[in-house]
Amino acid sequence: MMDDRRLSPNFGERRGGAVPSLIVIHYTAMESCAAARDRLCDPLAEVSAHWLISRHGTIDALVDEAHRAWHAGAGEWGGVADVNSHSIGVELDNRGNEPFPEPQMAALEHVLQGIMTRWSIPPHRVIGHSDMAPDRKSDPGTRFDWQRLARQGLSVWPDLATPGAPARDFVSQACRFGYPALGEDVVLRAFRLRFRPGATGPVCLADTAMANNLALRFGVDEADAQA
């Protein structure tokens, strides 16, 4: 049951009869979880999320999952432009430059398992804010442990040991996986934030191999995209 004292008024109906098919993970980039909650519940701020998780592992439900929260903003993933109507947003209490504590990660895993079960969302549809808005967002950032989630089936990670077709160009494969087509520099930055934090320089074979593997395993086939 949701605590009415903590609910956000910032939500609406999902457009076009959409149901959640994505989960978007954010960091709050604020000084405290209380400050983040106040902002997410402030009608003047016009922002919200379905879930807020403190660094201590406290879980606050702010918007009913059936409703459209205002967390994603402009962006796209897998050809879906109205990400808010198709997603559930999870905010993590983190300033953006610090590790995510164990209690917070454990609570996130619990929340993700529930959302994915309720809405039949597959692991490759769990993304970061920087994935769907790579030209303007960097959360959940380089300190977030995507591999940990992937090991538990709550997200995905490239498997370069899996045989596949020869690697094609980086951008086309990254976009086939889901990234919006915003140019090589923008897509590369977002891709590395998630899969190769700390990597620098131009696109290299490691980037292309990872993008190729993800596209082969989870991307939309070209024939399906044209259908």
CATH number of residue 107's parent domain: 3.40.80.10
Q: Identify whether the C-beta of residue 47 lies closer than 8 Å to the C-beta of residue 39.
A: yes
| Position 159 in a domain | no
Q: Identify whether the C-beta of residue 173 lies closer than 8 Å to the C-beta of residue 215.
A: yes
Write the CA distances from 89 to 47, 68, 131, 193, integer angstroms. Answer: 11, 9, 13, 19
pLDDT band at 160 (very low <50, low <70, confident <90, very high): confident
Which residue in the list 91, 98, 184, 222 is annotated as catalytic? 91
91 is catalytic: yes
- Same domain assignment for residues 45 and 141: yes
- Look at the chain and report how many structural domains it folds into: 2
Task: Read off the pTM.
Answer: 0.93
Q: What mean pLDDT value characterizes the chain?
A: 92
Domain boundary pick from 98, 119, 151: 151
| Position 35 in a domain | yes
Q: Identify whether the C-beta of residue 156 lies closer than 8 Å to the C-beta of residue 218.
A: yes
Phi, psi of 68 (to 5 degrees): -95, 105
Taking 80 as the threshold, does the pLDDT of residue 168 lie above it? Answer: no
pLDDT of residue 6: 75
pLDDT of residue 61: 97
- Same domain assignment for residues 144 and 188: no
Could you list the residue range(s) of the whole structural domain that residue 127 is in? Answer: 4-151
Write the CA distances from 187 to 64, 98, 110, 136, integer angstroms. Answer: 32, 24, 30, 11
pLDDT of residue 197: 95
pLDDT of residue 14: 98
Tokens of 4: 């009415």
- Same domain assignment for residues 84 and 186: no
- Same domain assignment for residues 180 and 213: yes
- Same domain assignment for residues 177 and 137: no
| Position 189 in a domain | yes
- Same domain assignment for residues 216 and 117: no
